[in-house]
Amino acid sequence: MITDLDGQASRIVTWLGDQAQVAAGAGPAQLHQLTGGNSNVTYLLTAGDRQWIIRRPPQHRLDRSAHSMAREWTLLDALAPTAVPAVRPVAYGQDLGVLGAEFLVLEYVPESVSITDALPLAYDAVPETIAAIGSALVDALVRVQEADWQAAGLAEFGRPAGFLSRQVPRWEAQYRRHQNRDIASFDRVARWLRDHQPGPQPAAVVHGDFHLDNCLFSVHRPELLAVVDWEMATIGDPLLDLGLLLALWGPRVCDPPGMPAIQAVTRAPAAPSRRDLAERYAQLSGRDLSGIRWYQVFALWKLAAIVEAAYAQFARGELRTDYAAALEQDVPLLFDEAEALITAPDR
């Protein structure tokens, strides 16, 4: 463990006491960068017997709006009194002398884990376990979308009017800003999305990147403890979140798929299907899912359009990580999968 990262741990602890009136435990402050997550940088801060999660923007930002700590703080602070299972905020810091950037302090969720391609050791490796995980994800998503965002003070947080009609142009422009190669399936899917856009849904809180990896589960049992990584949240069409969850759930329509580790445990034999999860969601939410295929296609297309920016940074030598290097293949695969999903059999 890195003890102090050039004094940053001590500065955060001092700032917490002076500016946020949050007392640390006795003992040296330690700051350890956590793995996982490829947008904002996340640390575990330990001071005596107390722990917090620290989030700050990366050194090379892809888009300032995608890394806004102030925006994420506004949302989490508004949702804290509600039944939404979001990670709890502690403080928002703007003092650049602490970490060199704005930052968030969040509650640490003890005995929790982010699940990707392997189940926690305490879980039974049986289909019922994956079913319980899927049910927990759907139930949490419905609770997010049931939040009264206007009563929570989020009336100005997003622009729900015309939200869906802005999505394809927005993410196409994002892709074009960072594009450094031609991928034909990007354009073909973009045309299909423009031509087949469904009618709007009643507005709700949208997480923006809702899938298994962005939820913390108990290390002991398949129980969802908190939803994390809210930097892309807004108010808009809630089926965008369901579309991403379903698109990455279970067997993928292309082999190999892009970003194969995401929700990889859900590809276990006899796991519940996408249809199972969609039916549970429809029953709990009462929403119309007749256009859900569009949302799944859009989810993969949007994901690829976003992360192409990280690959462009890698190609320029600005970002040297295994994640960024893998995007050379992952991005085209995601665009191809989005196109294949247009006509794939329902599962």
pLDDT tier, 61 (very low <50, low <70, confident <90, very high otherwise): low
Question: Using CA atoms, how far apart are residues 247 and 37, in angstroms rounded to an integer?
Answer: 19
Q: Which residues contact 303 (CB under 8 A, 6 or more apart)?
A: 244, 259, 334
CB 96 within 8 A of CB 69: no
Q: Which residues contact 1 (CB under 8 A, 6 or more apart)?
A: 30, 32
Q: How many residues does the chain have?
A: 347
The pLDDT, as a whole number, for residue 2 is 43
Question: Using CA atoms, how far apart are residues 259 and 327, in angstroms rounded to an integer?
Answer: 8
Question: CATH 3.90.1200.10 region(s) of the chain?
Answer: 115-343
Helix axes 184-195, 163-178, angle to 10 degrees: 170
The radius of gyration of the chain's CA atoms, rounded to the nearest angstrom, is 20
* Amino acid letter, residue 223: E
Q: Tell which residue, 200, 138, 199, 194, has the closest CA to residue 169.
A: 194
- For the stretch 219-231, pLDDT in tens is 999 999 999 999 9
Average confidence score pLDDT of the chain:
92
State yes or no: pLDDT of 1 exceeds 50. no
Q: What is the mean pLDDT of residues 185-213?
A: 97
The pLDDT, as a whole number, for residue 258 is 96
Q: Tell which residue, 103, 114, 115, has the closest CA to residue 41.
A: 103
The pLDDT, as a whole number, for residue 128 is 95
The pLDDT, as a whole number, for residue 118 is 93
Q: 315: helix, coil or strand?
A: helix
| CATH code of the domain occupying 115-343 | 3.90.1200.10
The pLDDT, as a whole number, for residue 62 is 56
More confident residue, 21 or 104: 104
Q: Locate 43 and state its tokens.
A: 């640390």
State yes or no: pLDDT of 198 exceeds 90. yes
The domain over range 8-107 is classified in CATH as 3.30.200.20: yes
The pLDDT, as a whole number, for residue 65 is 53
Q: Tell which residue, 199, 216, 261, 209, has the closest CA to residue 240.
A: 209
Residues of 230-263 as b/e, b for ≥16 C-beta within 10 angstroms?
A: bbbbbbbbbbbbbbbbbbbbbebbbeebbbbebb
- pTM as predicted: 0.94
Query: What pairs with residue 42 in β-bridges?
Result: 55
DSSP characters over 150-178: TTTT-TTT---TTHHHHHHHHHHHHHHHH
pLDDT tier, 276 (very low <50, low <70, confident <90, very high otherwise): very high
Question: CATH 3.30.200.20 region(s) of the chain?
Answer: 8-107
CB 76 within 8 A of CB 64: no
